[in-house]
Structure 1
Amino acid sequence: MLFSQRPIRLLGRDRGGEARAVFLHPRHPIQLSATAATSVMAVWLPWSSVREIEPVMRPATRMETNSPLIRAAWSFLASLLTEQSDPTLYSDYLVERLLVEMVFGMLVETAPAPLPGPNDTAMIARARTLMLMNRSDPSFTVQAVSKALHLSLRQLQRVFAAAGSSPAAELRMLRVDLACELIRDEDYAGMGVLDIALHSGFRNSSGMRRAFAAAGLATPGRMRAEGTSSR
């Protein structure tokens, strides 16, 4: 994902187009040229984080610079580059996750066509984006998702039920996924179980253990011990 201070021109399939924010598809090369001297910021993210919306992504996706997400991303990146304080044990990981989730939200926001499948699939994708962006906040709830999407809680539940899931289960699993990533990452071996719970959006460690059990996973402590013994 490229962010440019001045417009950049896309060549090739999107010849003649200009933008200040462009998502570059890893499997579709595209040429870019600057219309004037400019500063560019780049965000690399794992393809797995956006693979699910690949069917509606163009080789090069131009972003509308007046999008709130684009403006927020630009400001966030600029603040990272000028921040003088030293990173904490958790900040690098959380910044990376936030950037991935922001880019995912931008792609959903600018998708040229509805996502494939049932009509509710696009709504589920938008709901999931909101959950991804806020899952580390213990105060973020399913009710906040429905409010942001201008749906009643019952409508949101029906949308997920049609796909064989529920918004509460989806949010819980996203938090479990984040907790598992922290537990298995050697860079965060210094985090205690309670710290992991709080940084993954759980209110306490017992809530995280219950979520792990519901997902059929080992306890957080055992998962960490198994990971340590295998190294």
Structure 2
Amino acid sequence: MIDSGDVSLELTAGDAAFLLSSAAGELRSGIACELLTIAVPVEVLGDVRAVWPASGVQRVPRESMLLPPVAAFAARMLEGSANEVSGFTSYYVERLLQEMLQGLLLGASRAARVPQTQTTFPLAISVIVAQHSDPELTAVAIAEEVNISLRQLEREFRKRGTTIRRELRRVRVEQARKMLGDPDYAGLSITQIAQFVGFSSGSSLARAMSAVGLPAPSAVRV
């Protein structure tokens, strides 16, 4: 059972929930049980945080296709030793877990059916954050994920002085910038980093960085 303010959430075997660390919550159980906890800085979730409920508690739907693999993946990581994982491998492990958690939270938030007028834009940003590495991600696909027409979604972005394409570029560039500035990924070429974050090539990344006022990838690389 999770109690957080006016919200009480009863969990049974196989259930899962997100709990914001800043929420005044209490976790208790009347029987002996095994609890798997994944603690991450809230910043890891990036713009997906925008869809977090005010109570700080969000149940994950049991029918979520991501829940079993996330739990299995996290449990498997507990079996290994941190010394057995190289810095390079560690990045991909963390990246995979981060994207899984983003997907879980996004799916849970959509299932909660919060009024659309309050969540259309943050949900769309969440989709971009979670799927930006997919080079086939389009504005149409994002609109379908948010369950709104493309025209309506474009209108929501215009209200905030931006566009879907611009936000997708922003997220990809920011992720590439972080990787270029981290010596752990010096083994990856600029083209590989560009493709990893969703661009088609190193030159595409360079153009995108120039468009947002950043220097060339080679100048950012440590």
| Superposed pair shares fold, TM > 0.5 | yes
CA 1:149 to 1:105, structure 2 compared with 1: closer, same or farther past 3 Å?
closer
CA 1:31 to 1:78, structure 2 compared with 1: closer, same or farther past 3 Å?
same
CA 1:158 to 1:29, structure 2 compared with 1: closer, same or farther past 3 Å?
closer
Alpha-carbon distance in 1 for matches of 2:131, 2:165: 13
In the TM superposition, what whole-angstrom CA distance separates every residue of 1:208-227 from its partner, at most 9, and x where no partner exists? 11110111111111011xxx
Deviates more, 1:105-114 or 1:124-133: 105-114
- Structure 2 length as normaliser, TM-score? 0.78
**Aligned residue among 136, 158, 170 for 1:139:** 136
Q: Aligned partner of 1:132: which letter?
A: V
- CA RMSD, aligned part only? 2.9
Maintained 8 Å contact 1:108/1:125 = no
Aligned to 1:22: 17
Q: Aligned partner of 1:76: which letter?
A: V
Aligned to 2:96: 95
Alpha-carbon distance in 2 for matches of 1:143, 1:16: 37
**Residue 187 in structure 1 maps to residue 178 in structure 2:** no
In the TM superposition, what whole-angstrom CA distance separates every residue of 1:64-118 from its partner, at most 9, and x where no partner exists? 323x2xx41332331453489x786452242143134224414633667448xxx
Maintained 8 Å contact 1:10/1:16 = yes
CA 1:161 to 1:64, structure 2 compared with 1: closer, same or farther past 3 Å?
same
How many angstroms does 1:174 deviate by? 0.9
In the TM superposition, what whole-angstrom CA distance separates every residue of 1:43-80 from its partner, at most 9, and x where no partner exists? 223223355345x42143333323x2xx4133233145
Aligned to 2:174: 177
Structure 2 gaps, min length 5: none
Maintained 8 Å contact 1:57/1:111 = no
| SS of structure 2 residue aligned to 1:203 | coil
How many angstroms does 1:149 deviate by? 3.1
Q: Aligned partner of 1:92: which letter?
A: V
CA 1:64 to 1:213, structure 2 compared with 1: closer, same or farther past 3 Å?
same
Aligned to 2:148: 151
The structure with the largest strand share of the pair is 1
Maintained 8 Å contact 2:194/2:205 = yes
Structure 1 gaps, min length 5: 1-8
Q: Percent identity?
A: 25
Aligned to 1:105: 106
Maintained 8 Å contact 1:135/1:201 = yes
- Structure 1 length as normaliser, TM-score? 0.76
| SS of structure 1 residue aligned to 2:214 | coil
**Residue 61 in structure 1 maps to residue 58 in structure 2:** yes
| SS of structure 1 residue aligned to 2:66 | helix
